[in-house]
Homo-oligomer: A and B are copies of this chain.
Amino acid sequence: MIRSPDPELDLTMARIIKAPRATVWRAWSDPTRLERWWVPEPARCKVIDMDLRPGGSFVTRISEGGGAFVPHIDACFLAVDELSRIVFTDTLVAGWRPAENAFMTAIITLSDHPAGTEYAAHVMHRSGADRKMHEEMGFHDGWGTVAGQLARFVEQTH
């Protein structure tokens, strides 16, 4: 199910990462690695639950300014294609149960690129209003920033 982004409803970002796909995949799929780049620094991230298969739980928390860890993502994986694609949504929680606070579905794709890996996120909303809210909340800064952190993390360590 690859569909073109709908400019009225979706937000997208992409970045070239100078590391092989397998390295980027590992930085995403291993909770201790994901914690290193998943929230914008200097905030810190904890992965509470990460069951990387369709219907599996995906729960992260964030600590900002040294404060307590508070809810960040409470979502459900929808599709997991080794080395190439991860789809998750916060409209569902573990076991595909409908969520209280539903907002988006994200399709993350990794593809080969002459310089390493093209990392892309396609984030879908139910309405133009939700898309606009996400944009105003800082989608481009937020997702762009953490993709930059991911790039630095894997470019240093692989």
* A residues lining the B interface (CB < 8 Å): 1, 3, 9, 53-56, 78-79, 87, 89, 91-92, 94-100, 102-105, 107, 124-127, 130
Contact = CB atoms under 8 A, between A and B. Distances in A.
13 contacts: A1-B95, A55-B87, A78-B78, A78-B96, A89-B98, A91-B98, A92-B92, A96-B105, A96-B107, A96-B124, A97-B125, A98-B103, A98-B130
A119 to B, nearest CB: 19
A92 B91 contact: yes
A58 to B, nearest CB: 13
> 7 tightest CB-CB pairs across the interface, nearest first?
A1-B55, A98-B126, A3-B95, A91-B91, A97-B124, A96-B105, A91-B98
